[in-house]
A and B are shown apart, each in its own frame.
Chain A
């Protein structure tokens, strides 16, 4: 299979996968439970989810390692099992996709804030990312996907850790922005322009945005990203903001609605389109259809 960067360079538009957490919750993940714990206890479910997304038409399937850095796992007293948790996640995803599609290692925030406004040193955060990423890169993932970042410094620490471990593994880096009357900012106050500059400078190959408050905002975010860079872009949107019905989160954006907006993003020159919270294999199938149509038009 051609590498991620070769396929992007050849002009191919790739489809990402949908939500992991949403599917885990559908399968009984309890509130407060560590999602990555299932890599140890219920790997067959992760194999199944990877298979569902590959079947749905994703070109890239992510591992269940969003919270797989030891700093994050420490919240559940699982940091001593960092290697095992990350290795098992990669193997489960590989088994599920059965060499049909690329496997990217998900890497989310540590959940801790950096000094001076938080309580951790950048050395400690860097070491945490390095320990997680060393494991997944040694397992041979096809890419690393650093995502849902709001602090640019934290994002760049993860990118640099990945880069120091491998010069060839593609690094995808996405941040999460809120819409304000003054424009888009992350919770930590990072603008899209700053994100583009900082992420690329740290060594990311593909930049963009994930999660967020619905795909209409994401179209605008994509547009602004494209204004600031010609490098490959990835957008993975939530299926809207959840509404509560009978105590359960219901994401309101349908596969068809999201696929229609995804089509606009392709017009803007986005290179990888996938989903985040609330998106399902049905959303990915709909996006796949739009990408195929876009390709032939």
Chain B
């Protein structure tokens, strides 16, 4: 089995030590950085995402795979910067103000990173200004908003309004997700898309980045 295939498989098993070791080995044998990323880490995470989607594996498996992915990604990042390999897009994510639930948001972050996006995670209980300020200063392509509570969903409207005020609306797309949300709600507040889960978020963000 070639090393990138091994890398993908160890990542799927959540074996961070092996992923780090194999990534080092791949780098030392002068494999293309892009190939290590695409055919090793991203390929492995794609399988994890698919298996999670059909309930073959569950949250703990995804979290362990993500940890393994970061072990490889941390080693690749300096090379990607040095070689000027662009990420496919930048996404600012967070759980909106008043809401302390972040499992769903973390999963979306994992899936987006696993798909090769640059993800800035602002955490939970994030005020609207912080989403928009960060999107402006980081020149983000996407803002991703999460809420689990029906009582915190209305904060999303504030982020959309603020994005309009600051002139980034339309250029920086806004996606929303969380248990109480719906496509209809997203449309009503002027968000660009509702994403049911992390996999949908990846599809969606890829679509937006590709259409610019």
Contact = CB atoms under 8 A, between A and B. Distances in A.
A129 interface: no
Counting chain A CB atoms within 10 Å of each CB, the highest count among B55, B56, B64 belongs to B55
Contacts of B139: none
Contacts of B64: 116-117
Interface residues of B, number: 26
Interface stretch (B115-123, B149-157, B198-206): B149-157
A200 B153 CA distance: 39
Interface in B147-168: 149-154
A165 interface: no
A244 B100 CA distance: 20
B55 A244 contact: no
Contact of B59 (A31, A188, A242): A188
B197 interface: no
B38 interface: no
B58 interface: yes
A195 to B, nearest CB: 14
Contacts of A111: 100
B63 interface: yes
A10 interface: no
B185 A244 contact: yes
A132 B61 CA distance: 30
A24 to B, nearest CB: 11
Interface in B59-83: 59-61, 63-64, 67
Interface residues of A, number: 22
B153 A244 contact: yes
Interface stretch (A36-44, A179-187, A262-270): A179-187
Given A118-B63, A185-B58, A32 B99 contact: yes
Nearest to A189: B58
A31 B60 contact: no
Contacts of B63: 113, 117-118
B57 interface: yes
Contact of B150 (A30, A75, A113, A242): A242
B140 to A, nearest CB: 25
Given A113-B63, A189-B59, A189-B61, A247 B154 contact: yes
B150 A249 contact: yes
A1 interface: no
Contacts of B180: 242, 244, 249
B130 to A, nearest CB: 15
A32 B154 CA distance: 13
A36 to B, nearest CB: 14
Chain B at the A interface: mostly helix, strand, loop or mixed? loop
B100 A32 contact: yes
A113 B62 CA distance: 13
A182 B53 CA distance: 11
Contact of A25 (B55, B60, B100, B151): B151
Given A31-B99, A113-B63, A117-B63, A181 B55 contact: yes
A181 B53 CA distance: 11
Interface in B110-150: 125, 149-150
Interface in A1-58: 25, 30-32
Given A116-B64, A244-B153, A244-B180, A31 B98 contact: yes
Contacts of A181: 54-55
Contact of A244 (B57, B58, B98, B150): B150
Interface string A84-110: 000000000000000000000000000
Contact of A32 (B57, B58, B60, B152): B152
A32 B61 contact: no
Contacts of A247: 150, 153-154
Contacts of A248: 150
24 contacts: A25-B151, A30-B98, A31-B99, A32-B152, A117-B60, A117-B63, A117-B64, A117-B67, A118-B63, A180-B55, A187-B58, A188-B60, A189-B57, A189-B58, A189-B60, A189-B61, A242-B150, A242-B180, A244-B150, A244-B153, A244-B185, A247-B150, A247-B154, A249-B180
Given A185-B55, A188-B58, 18 more contacts: A31-B99, A31-B152, A32-B97, A117-B59, A117-B64, A181-B54, A182-B54, A187-B58, A187-B103, A188-B59, A189-B57, A189-B58, A189-B59, A244-B180, A244-B182, A247-B154, A249-B150, A249-B151
Interface of A: 25, 30-32, 75, 111, 113, 116-118, 180-182, 185, 187-189, 242, 244, 247-249
- Minimum-distance CB pairs A-B, first 4: A189-B58, A31-B151, A32-B98, A249-B150
